[in-house]
Chains A and B, each alone.
Chain A
Amino acid sequence: MGPQTADVLIVGAGVIGASIAFHLTRLGIKPLLVEKSDPAAGSSGACDGLVFLQSKKPGLHLKLALESRKRFDSLVDQLGSRIEFKNPGGLCLIESESELAAMQLFVAEQRTSGLDVELIDGDEARRREPCLSRKVIAATFSALDSQVNPYALTFAFLRAAESAGARILTGVEVKGIEVASSKATGIFTENRRIGASVVVNAAGALAAEVGRLAGLEIPVTPRRGQILVTAAVPPLLRHCLISAQYVAAKFKPELAAAGGMGFSLEQADSGNILIGSTREFVGFDRRTTFDGIRTIASRIAPVIPALKNVPVIRTFGGLRPYTPDGLPILGKVAGLEGFIMAAGHEGDGIALSAITGELIADLIATGRTQFPLDAFRLERFLEGAA
């Protein structure tokens, strides 16, 4: 027959929903996850596994990411080695004097927010990462930057949650959200109603759709990122890598127009190298395009020439849940009791999954969180418009 009610009902079994479920079970709560397709069928199964601190905006975003990164160390113990968590450190690659100037400012801000970052010259970068070409004139290094297997992480969260009593319905779509007297009291599927005291919107790129079912306007828009996957090759990359280009562009907007696209790379445990990525608003189209994959390839080939001889065997597109200010939407929703937001992580979902799970679980179980969630509330988008 299936469950009729749940204390906590989580919409979406991607990495965010799975992490919340895991953390809830550790507080003695047994949630029900309702997943439209399969676990990690959305963005959590179509992304790279970078847990990158250097790409986060200094201030609240970076602080949140640092907290999350800290928790990964104990997560490895709790969830096991199959999440393939690795900490090789990360390099942010600088390719022009303009970028370098911007990055020097950026580094100062990162340090203020508590991230230890080292600025090194091109030769030192090549000494540490021999596959880099002379196009790299400098780089910044953070020892904390890491990578994980996002699909395995999602499943590990779910496995652990299920063995502690959480339940998951897959292939079940939420078609409606029951609201009575400004309180969310359950959801409707194709066939029935499931009552709940708390409903969590962890639907990632589909968070807006779920929000509409509850009468809410949630500004989460899918932003496609295309990724190339190479054949498995012997170890080539010693670090996780990103380009300074789009980070630097925040400080010098002219770089956004002038530069090419930003890139990110990791070599997975399996030996495959993942290379991203485009940033496109194309609705929910997850296909890769000739244009996109050619652009990624031609962007990275001059920087890591050894990649030219490596076969690309697969490409895929993932939809980042984008929000207008780049911060996720977390916490209670004013005017709708019992409805909790946990979506809008825009490309940082994997990295922020650990802290998000903990914060939301704490909020639900105790009403309190380790630090305030005000900056992440849904209402901030309405206030700005006033």
Chain B
Amino acid sequence: MDDRKVDVAIVGGGLAGAAAADVLDRHGASVLVLDDNLHPGGQYLRGGRRSGGSLSDRVRRRGLSLIERLPSSSVAIASRAEVLGIEAGFALLVADGNGDLSTVKCERILLATGARERFIPFKGWTLPGVMATGAVQILVKQSGILPERETLVAGAGLFLPTVARDIQKSGGRVPAVLNETSFFQQVPPPGLLVRQFAKFAQGGAMLARLRLAGTAVYSSTRVLEARGDEGLREVVAARVDPKGNVITGTETVYRTGSLAAGFGFTANVELAQLAGCGLAFNSRLGGWVVKVNEELETSVDGVHAAGEITAIGGAAKSLTEGRLAGYGILRRMGLMKPHERREEISALKKLRQRQMAFARYFNSQYTFPQEYLAGWIRGLPGGVPVCRCEEVNLGDIRRAVAEGFDTPAAVKKATRCGMGICQGSTCKTILLDALAAITGKTPAQIPMPSARVPVKPVYLGTLAGGGPWNR
């Protein structure tokens, strides 16, 4: 990719990025979308039309049409493009799929970097055969391949039945869905249930279909251990009481070579951090998120944010925020007058508020009271890995805290947790949760470790400008 100069650089080609690109393009801004994936569409549109997914899903239809419109628009899209850093002015350092390095200069930036999964570790979770729920969904939707004929699904949150259903519809078997959350935690607040009844009805229908297809669905159930030698062979789960204590005698062993485990999501805020944007911790928004105003502007002039990084909230919210952010950027650039599209924007803002209400419910499904989570983590054996890359386990973290290292940065330096090749993307939230559990601090009191260039690993050859596999 050559060096470029555009009006707006959008980082992330998912629903929020695509929606914003569409708005910006229609009003004459020059736009470059930098997406790190093989194909645009983010997580929601994995596989595009190939995966045979339902087109009765309005969000999916809208998303697909946005993505499909882009090639014939003036929007430039760079796929397999990883933004390594942002400098004031703005300049973005980009590594592309061929190992080439380039700089993108732009007037304004929209960060739409989405979310990744978050985990609570358990014994044996690093065994081959144990995967994130998203990994299984991506395998099924993008490559059309099942990890095994049978996959056990476990963890917490609304994503579990969705993935289980994806597996079933693809001809795979799901012996059970094991959800940590209690039945009561899953019941939505009455007001929300009424206002978004269709959504909940859909969810209920999905659970019914799951059961009809032979999948047992359990609440208040926790994965205790994944067992195996070279790979997963069986999973041990048990029921937990309302305080989160394991109820002895309820252990069940599932023989399986494939476990899809998921515990919710965490926003990809690292680039925003690097750009100096203010963050906030709010468990109802999914943890650490980028602070934005109603126009979706961050605390840094010229940097806007949309989608999961403002709050984990799903596809519809991302589409709404993409549009809103697009209009916000146009206004700031003087490409749209203040009174233009006032009604549409006002309607979008109201829609966003409704979507935020659902987002708060969504996030509550994998958020546990501090004492509950603390007890859960306290009950984990010291040998449970926390940092997969550097092989730092929970016992190492406990020892470090006992020696006086009680912030993520200090624990990182003392144990190397978070200093591996994944740059903390898997263990950061685990470390935050572990520190909260061990020290008694609330997550909001535990400072997020800072982000540095490169926010993704990059071959030295790429940085050197040659591209390691330049032909």
Contacts and interface: CB of A to CB of B under 8 A. Distances in A.
Note whether A and B contact each other (Cβ less than 8 A): yes
B88 to A, nearest CB: 10
A232 B416 CA distance: 12
Interface string A270-308: 101001000000000001111001100110110000011
Interface stretch (A54-62, A172-180, A312-320, A363-371): A312-320
A38 interface: yes
Interface stretch (B73-81, B203-211, B341-349, B417-425): B417-425
A310 B458 CA distance: 8
Interface in B99-128: 101, 103
Instruction: Specify which of B85, B420, B453, B460 lies most central, judged by the most chain A CB atoms within 10 Å of its CB.
Output: B460
Nearest to A302: B464
Interface in B433-467: 452-454, 457-461, 463-466
B463 A293 contact: yes
A308 B420 contact: no
Contacts, number: 87
Interface residues of A, number: 32
B81 to A, nearest CB: 16
A347 interface: no
B420 A307 contact: no
A228 to B, nearest CB: 7
Contact of A301 (B93, B101, B416, B460): B460
Interface string B390-428: 100000000000000000011001101001110100000
A231 interface: yes
A242 B212 CA distance: 68
Contact of B459 (A38, A270, A290, A310): A310
Contacts of B423: 313-314
Nearest to B87: A290
B452 A288 contact: yes
B419 A300 contact: no
Contacts of A45: 413
B52 interface: no
Contacts of B419: 272, 314
Given A290-B453, A294-B101, A308 B421 contact: no
Interface string A160-174: 000000000000000
B91 interface: yes
Contacts of B453: 288, 290, 293, 315
Contacts of B452: 287-288, 314-316
A130 interface: no
Given A45-B413, A314-B452, A308 B459 contact: yes
Nearest to A308: B461
B468 interface: yes
B463 A297 contact: yes
Given A298-B463, A309-B459, A232 B87 contact: no
Given A297-B464, A312-B457, 13 more contacts: A151-B413, A288-B452, A290-B93, A307-B460, A308-B461, A311-B421, A311-B459, A311-B460, A312-B454, A312-B458, A312-B460, A313-B454, A314-B419
Interface of B: 85, 87, 91, 93, 101, 103, 390, 409-410, 413-414, 416, 419-421, 423, 452-454, 457-461, 463-466, 468
Listed from nearest, the 8 A-B pairs whose CB atoms lie closest are A308-B461, A297-B463, A301-B464, A311-B457, A297-B464, A298-B464, A231-B421, A308-B468
